[in-house]
Amino acid sequence: MTTEVNLCAESKHRGAFTFDAMSDPLPPLALTLVVITRDAGASLAECLSSARFASQMIVVDSGSGDDTAQIAASCGALVIEQAWLGFGPQKNFAVAQAANDWVLCLDADECVSPELARSIRSTLQHAQFNAYEMPRRNRFLGQWLGHGEGYPDWNLRLFDRRHARWSEDAVHEHVLFDGNVGRLSGDLLHASGDSLEAYLAKQNRYTTLQAEALFARGERFSAARLIVSPIFRFFRFYILRGGFLDGVAGLVHISIGCFNSFSKYAKLRALEQANRGRSS
């Protein structure tokens, strides 16, 4: 038996949380787990193992150079290669491949907690809504955040694709749905293994994509938004929502978030100047 198979079969540990999805004696749900990946070999097995209650698992990979595809296949997932389309379009492509209408969309560095798994199973027996959101708990600098932007970070990830779909946004995509949204109990655990350096590099890429999206929509730079947006974000999440209760990790997390707000508009300003230079 390969290392990857063993990794999928055994219990998983993330700090204080333990996963043992393989011990679930109940039949799988008519639900498809959907994950889009690129070079996600370090975390993918844990992600897939936590959602073994789904009758189908699909991994849509966009050219990984590591063993992502092999790990996905060894965990029982259907692996589909698709060149990168942008976050929203890539997820819509993945959802369209599902054999079931109900889909659960996860990132490769996310896991379903046992409580959330039970909530999903119970909810889908008599679903009252077409879409459900769940609280996401983020781990940052080795600490599970419990306040501020880190928790509860509500995410809509479970939906009936006949009544919902991902937006076409290249970054910060979201689910568009008919009717009202329900809420699940139990945490979606986001335990990125990124170093602080890698995390900052990722945020730099995201703010570039955000600025490009703003520019494409015709939004233009505002000095007021450049200044006020980071201040408002700090006050909302660090003060009102208790981010200060997470200590140093909470302070670093919100500080990076505030800089992201500043950086996004600064990059929008740079795009405008570059466009003027090409036009003159």
Could you report the per-residue pLDDT of 264-277, keeping only the tens digit for each?
999 999 999 998 88
Residue 223 has pLDDT above 50, yes or no: yes
In this prediction, residue 10 has a pLDDT band, given cuts at 50, 70 and 90, of very low
**CA separation for the pair 99, 28 (Å, rounded):** 14
Q: What local confidence, expressed as pLDDT, does residue 120 receive?
A: 98
Q: What local confidence, expressed as pLDDT, does residue 172 receive?
A: 81
> What's the rounded mean pLDDT across residues 249-274?
96
**CA separation for the pair 96, 88 (Å, rounded):** 12
Please enumerate in sequence order all residues whose Cβ is within 8 A of that of 265, keeping only pairs 6 or more positions apart, or say none.
211, 221, 222, 225, 226, 229
Extract the tokens encoding 213.
């999206």
**CA separation for the pair 165, 225 (Å, rounded):** 30
In this prediction, residue 279 has a pLDDT band, given cuts at 50, 70 and 90, of confident
Q: What local confidence, expressed as pLDDT, does residue 8 receive?
A: 61
Residue 6 has pLDDT above 70, yes or no: no
Residue 141 has pLDDT above 50, yes or no: yes
The overall average pLDDT reported for the chain is 90
Q: What local confidence, expressed as pLDDT, does residue 23 receive?
A: 54
Pair type for strands 131-140 and 12-14: unpaired
Residue 112 three-state SS: strand
User: Higher pLDDT residue, 24 or 188?
Assistant: 188
User: Higher pLDDT residue, 93 or 3?
Assistant: 93
